Structure 1
C-alpha cells in the first residue's frame, strides 16, 4: 500500500499512526512525529544517521521532535486552508457591470491587449506600433470588473504543510492529482518490498492491470479547471490541459511512466465510491483468473475555489456561517476549523480534502511465490444503486443491500462469532446531517439482522476530511493500520452522539479503542446512488485461509521468502522516514510503437518484456464447423 493524505504517508502506516498518536508507545509517537517533520521539510535525516533541522543545524532526533511537535500537529489533518486566496488575499472573481457614460471615454491600450472583435461604434487610432487609442461613445458600456471575494469555506483536509509531491520527479505543469498519483504509486511499490521489474518479468504482460482514477477529474488550473475558464480569464488553453484532465488519467500515467504495463487498464468513476469501484474491478479480475497483479487506486485534489463553491452552493459543505451557527460563535479560530468534521455528532456539512491511495493486489499463489508481505485480503466488494429517488444527491436504499451482502459473506467465511465480536465498520461518515441519520440506520438494521449488539464504528473523515473518490482508500488504509496496531481510531470531534443517530447497536468512541479485528467493512454512500461496501480481512485471518488452501509447507516457504521482502521494505521506510523520497517516473523510456513487435497467431513478443503476451483466449461461445452456414 502507498499514498498520501492529510495525516501523512500511507506506507509503514504513518498516516494511521497520526490518527491514533496519543495511544501509541512513546517510541512510536516519536518515530511518527519525526517522519512527519521530515516529510514537511522541518528536518532531514542524513546518510550518516544524523539529523539536521530546517536550517541545516545538527540536532538529536529527540530535540527535533520537541522543536517541531506543535507545528506538525497544527499543520497536518483538517485545518484552516493555507492557500492565501482563502484568507486575506481573497478569491479572484469578476462582477458584471453596466457603465453609464455621460461623455465619450478615451483610453490607451497595448495593441495585443485589444479584443479582435470590437463594437462598431468604438473608434481606434494608432499612436505607435505598440499602442492604440480607443474612444467609446457616450451611453451604456457593459464591462466585467475584477474583484476579490471573501471565501465562505476556509477549512479542508490538506496534505501536510511543506510536502509537495511534484518535487520528487520531473513534473512539467502536471495537475496536482497526477503528481500525487506518481508519489502514491511509488510509495506503494516501495512499501511492498518487491522489485517491480522482476515481478513483471514473472508474468505474461497481460496478467497485469491498473485500475485508477478519481471522482471528478483534474479540475485545477493545470487540468480542466484552467481549460474551462481560459476564455473568461484571458489565458490561453495549453495542449496539456485537455488530456491531463480526464478522470482515468491516473491509470494512464501509471501505465506510461511508472509501471510500463500493457495489461488491463481503466477507471470507474462513482463519486465517493470510486476507490471501491476500482477495487472491485481488480478483485473480480483476479478471481476470474484474468490477472495476477493489479494496482488499484485513486487520486483526488479538489481543494480549488470552483469545486468548493460548487459543493457549498448545494449545501453540502461545512461553511463558516454554518460552523459559527452550530457552536454559537462570532469568530472562528484555527482550533474551530480543526474540528469542523463531526461524523455522527451535531454537524453541518462535510470538509473537503485531498488524497491519493494505492494498493497492490495479487492472487494468493503469486503472493506466496514472491514472499509478498500480506497486509490483508479483499474477498469481495458489493455495489448497488439507490433506485427511485427525488434529489439525485439524496441518500437511498442501495447501501442496505451492499452492507447486508458483505455481512453475509463474513459470517459465511468466518462464522457468527467473528462477525458479531471481531468485525468493525469503517463508516462513510461524511459529517452531514443526512449522512449521520441514514448511514447509522443502515448499520442499525444490518446489526439487528445479524444479532450484532455493539458494532464498533470508525469515521476517519474526522481526521482527514472527505477526499471524494479517494475517501474509501483513506478508510481502507486506516483499516490496515488497525489490523497492524490492534487499535481503532476514535472520533475526537464527537462531543456527543446526535439525538437522531440510530446508535443502540453501535459502539462509538472519542478516543482510540483497543480491538483485535478479523474483518472490516469499508463503506461508501456516494452522491447519485453510488453505494459500495468492501470486505477487508485481517492478515491473521488471511494466513489461516492460505494455510487451509495451500497447506503448511507452502505457507512456511512463503514465510521464509518474506524475510527478504521485509528487509527491502524496511530499507525503503527508513529512507522515507528521513524525508528521502524517490518517485518512480520513467518518462520516454522503452517507448514502442509497433514495428518492434514479433507477432504470431499464438503470441506477441514485446522488446523489454521477459514473457510474451499469449493470444490464446477462452471461448465460452462454442464453435461452428468450417463450412457450416446459418
Structure 2
C-alpha cells in the first residue's frame, strides 16, 4: 500500500501579508492586495499593476551574504521553508537527512537577478560586448534554477532527492505532486515542498504585455483582478511563495502532529494544442480532475469546495467553467468555487502552492474564501463563484486546479484525514 501524505507545516509569503496568518486573514476578509507596480518604473508599460510582497529579507532573518547570493525568489522560498518547518514541530535534527527530500516549483526562477545583472553587464543595454569583469560572482546561482531547491535543502538539512519543477503556472502544484510520490513510494518520509516566483521585473512584464494577457485596469489596481466577472480583461501579475512540510501520515500521527490536510489525489494533463490558447470544452482539465478524484476515491458530489485557477482572462475562465461542468456534472452548480487570484494576483509558478495553502487553511478553519471584485458574473461563467464574501461551511474535501501556458492542466485533492480513513 502506498504511504499516505499529510501536510503538517505551512509557510507563506504573499501580497498583503507576512506569513500564514496574515495571508489567511486577507483572504477570509475578501480584501485585495494588488497595487501599482513599485519595484521598478512601469510608466511605459501596457499593464502597470501587480501583487507585490512587502518583503524585507533582513527582517526575515537572512544574512547579508545570503541576501547577496540569493535571488529574491530563492529568498522567499527559504523564508517560507523555515516557517513551514517551525509550524510542523518536526525535529529535523533527529530525522535521517537522506530521508528528507525537497521539491520546488518556479516558472521564471531567478529572472529578477538575471535582468539586473544583464543591465549591469551591458550598461543598461548600451554595450553589445560585455566586460566580464562586471559579472557578479553569484551569476551561476542566478542562471541555474536547481540552485533554488538546493538552498532550501541546505536550510533544512535535506540530503534526499532534491528536485526543481518548472512547467509554467502549474509548477507549484506539480512540485507538490512530485513530493507526494516520493513519500507514497517510501523514497522519503519527509519532504519540504512548494514554489516561489518573483516575476515583477521589466522583461517578464513586457512578455505578458506583448501577448495582452495582463489587465490594463491601471487606474484601479485594487479591483483590477476580476475572475469570472463580465468586465475581466486579463490577470494581475504577482510574486510570492508557499512551502510545506509533507510527511507520511502514520509518522505524523505517531508524533502527535497537527495535520492540516491529507493530499489524496493528483493528476496532470497536457492539451498538445497551443502555447497560449485553450479549447472551449475544458476536456484536458476535466480529465485531470477525474483522475485526481478517482485516486482519492472521491465522487464528484463529495467535493465541498473548488479552488479555481481563476486567472481573470476571458478564455481561461470560460475553459475552466466548462471543465467543472464536464468533470463534476450536476454538482458543479452546487459546489462553491472561488479564485484567490482576485486578492493576491497570479504569481505564475508559485500560485499553485499558494492556493494549496489556502485550501489547507480552508479545511482547517471550515471557511471558503471568496472571489473578490465579482460584481457582474459573466454569462458564460454561471457557477457559484462565491462573490465578495467568505462562507463558513462544512468542508472535508477540496479540489484545486491549475492551468498553464503550454497546455498544462493539473488537479489536486485535499481531504480531512479523519474522513478519508
Do the two structures share a fold, i.e. TM-score over 0.5?
yes
Q: CA deviation at 1:438?
A: 0.6
In the other structure, the counterpart of 1:340 is 224
In the other structure, the counterpart of 1:226 is 117
- Could you tell me how far apart the structure 2 residues matched to 1:437 and 1:359 are? 31
Trace 1:548-563 onto structure 2 (pairs within 5 A).
Answer: 548=421
In the other structure, the counterpart of 1:575 is none
1:248 and 1:420, CA in 2 relative to 1: closer, same or farther beyond 3 A? same
- Say whether residues 1:6 and 2:15 are aligned partners: yes
- Could you tell me how far apart the structure 1 residues matched to 2:290 and 2:419 are? 25
- Say whether residues 1:443 and 2:336 are aligned partners: no
In the other structure, the counterpart of 2:368 is 488
In the other structure, the counterpart of 2:84 is 188
- Could you tell me how far apart the structure 2 residues matched to 1:363 and 1:269 are? 25
- Could you tell me how far apart the structure 1 residues matched to 2:109 and 2:257 are? 32
- Could you tell me how far apart the structure 2 residues matched to 1:17 and 1:446 are? 31
**Structure 2 unaligned blocks of 5 or more:** 1-9
Give the match's secondary structure for 2:244. strand
In the other structure, the counterpart of 1:473 is 353
Q: CA deviation at 1:471?
A: 0.9
Q: CA deviation at 1:544?
A: 4.3
| Contact 1:224–1:241, Cα closer than 8 Å, also in 2 | no
1:81 and 1:15, CA in 2 relative to 1: closer, same or farther beyond 3 A? same
| Contact 2:198–2:239, Cα closer than 8 Å, also in 1 | yes
Deviations 1:536-575 (A, max 9, x none): 113xxx0344xx5xxxxxxxxxxxxxxxxxxxxxxxxxxx
Deviations 1:566-597 (A, max 9, x none): xxxxxxxxxxxxxxxxxxxxxxxxxxxxxxxx
In the other structure, the counterpart of 1:111 is none
Trace 1:508-523 onto structure 2 (pairs within 5 A).
Answer: 508-523=386-401
In the other structure, the counterpart of 1:244 is 142
From 187, 195, 201, the counterpart of 1:304? 201
- Say whether residues 1:400 and 2:286 are aligned partners: yes
- Could you tell me how far apart the structure 2 residues matched to 1:421 and 1:398 are? 21
- Could you tell me how far apart the structure 1 residues matched to 2:74 and 2:126 are? 24
- Could you tell me how far apart the structure 2 residues matched to 1:296 and 1:247 are? 15
| Contact 1:7–1:19, Cα closer than 8 Å, also in 2 | no
Give the match's secondary structure for 1:165. coil
Q: CA deviation at 1:447?
A: 2.3
Give the match's secondary structure for 1:172. helix
Trace 1:256-335 onto structure 2 (pairs within 5 A).
Answer: 256=154, 258-319=155-216, 323=217, 332=219
From 75, 79, 104, the counterpart of 2:35? 79
| Contact 1:457–1:506, Cα closer than 8 Å, also in 2 | yes
Q: CA deviation at 1:479?
A: 1.1
| Contact 1:5–1:159, Cα closer than 8 Å, also in 2 | yes
- Say whether residues 1:366 and 2:251 are aligned partners: yes
In the other structure, the counterpart of 2:50 is 156
- Could you tell me how far apart the structure 1 residues matched to 2:56 and 2:247 are? 30
Give the match's secondary structure for 1:455. coil
- Say whether residues 1:434 and 2:315 are aligned partners: yes
Q: CA deviation at 1:451?
A: 4.6
Deviations 1:463-517 (A, max 9, x none): 000000011111111112212222111112101111222x2x5453321112211
| Contact 1:80–1:155, Cα closer than 8 Å, also in 2 | yes
Give the match's secondary structure for 1:493. coil
- Could you tell me how far apart the structure 2 residues matched to 1:490 and 1:211 are? 29
**Structure 1 unaligned blocks of 5 or more:** 23-72, 91-149, 325-331, 549-630
In the other structure, the counterpart of 1:169 is 62
| Contact 1:424–1:455, Cα closer than 8 Å, also in 2 | yes
- Could you tell me how far apart the structure 1 residues matched to 2:136 and 2:311 are? 36
Trace 1:452-463 onto structure 2 (pairs within 5 A).
Answer: 452-463=332-343
In the other structure, the counterpart of 1:626 is none
Q: CA deviation at 1:237?
A: 2.1
Trace 1:493-508 onto structure 2 (pairs within 5 A).
Answer: 493-501=373-381, 503=382, 505-508=383-386
Bigger-Rg structure (1/2): 1
Q: What is the TM-score when the length of structure 1 is the normalising length? A: 0.60
Give the match's secondary structure for 2:289. helix
- Could you tell me how far apart the structure 2 residues matched to 1:291 and 1:194 are? 15
In the other structure, the counterpart of 2:414 is 536
- Say whether residues 1:17 and 2:25 are aligned partners: yes
1:374 and 1:229, CA in 2 relative to 1: closer, same or farther beyond 3 A? same
- Say whether residues 1:425 and 2:300 are aligned partners: no
Q: CA deviation at 1:452?
A: 4.6
Q: CA deviation at 1:305?
A: 1.2
- Could you tell me how far apart the structure 1 residues matched to 2:88 and 2:196 are? 19
Deviations 1:187-244 (A, max 9, x none): 111211233213x2xx3x3221101131112111x33652487233557221212332
Q: What is the TM-score when the length of structure 2 is the normalising length? A: 0.88
More divergent stretch after superposition (306-315 vs 510-519): 510-519
Q: CA RMSD in A?
A: 2.1
- Could you tell me how far apart the structure 1 residues matched to 2:27 and 2:332 are? 26
Give the structure, 1 or 2, with the largest relative contact order (CA under 8 Å, sep 6 or more): 2
Deviations 1:360-403 (A, max 9, x none): 1101221123222111010121011103x2x3111244212101
Give the match's secondary structure for 2:41. helix
| Contact 1:213–1:248, Cα closer than 8 Å, also in 2 | no
Give the match's secondary structure for 2:194. strand
- Could you tell me how far apart the structure 2 residues matched to 1:356 and 1:192 are? 17
Give the match's secondary structure for 1:20. helix
| Contact 1:207–1:292, Cα closer than 8 Å, also in 2 | yes
